[in-house]
Amino acid sequence: MNASNAKSNNPIKCIPQKGDWQGGDEILIIMPKPTKRKEYTICFDFGLLGKQTINEITYIDKKVILFRTPPCRIPPSNENIK
């Protein structure tokens, strides 16, 4: 996960760290500091297979957001599953 907040020494926590290849996992992101309710963009980058933006983001409170993962566009292989 890439976070664009270079000023913070506190990492953003993402639960769970890994998900199902078929998607549909519920992901919680916990921010180190409260947010000011600005809009966030969550995007999965599948390289040459394109990007997918998550449109349904739930704001639990000022530090926690929730969303579901999309299916992975990269075909599974032994190296990808490790």
| Mean local confidence (pLDDT), 32-58 | 87
Amino acid of residue 2: N
Going by pLDDT thresholds of 50, 70 and 90, the confidence category of residue 12 is confident
Q: What pLDDT score does 34 carry?
A: 81
Amino acid at 23: G
| pLDDT tops 50 at residue 13 | yes
Give the pLDDT confidence score for residue 55 in this predicted structure. 93
- Distance (Å, rounded) from C-alpha 7 to C-alpha 5? 6
Single-letter code of the amino acid located at 37: R
Question: What mean pLDDT is reported for the chain?
Answer: 81
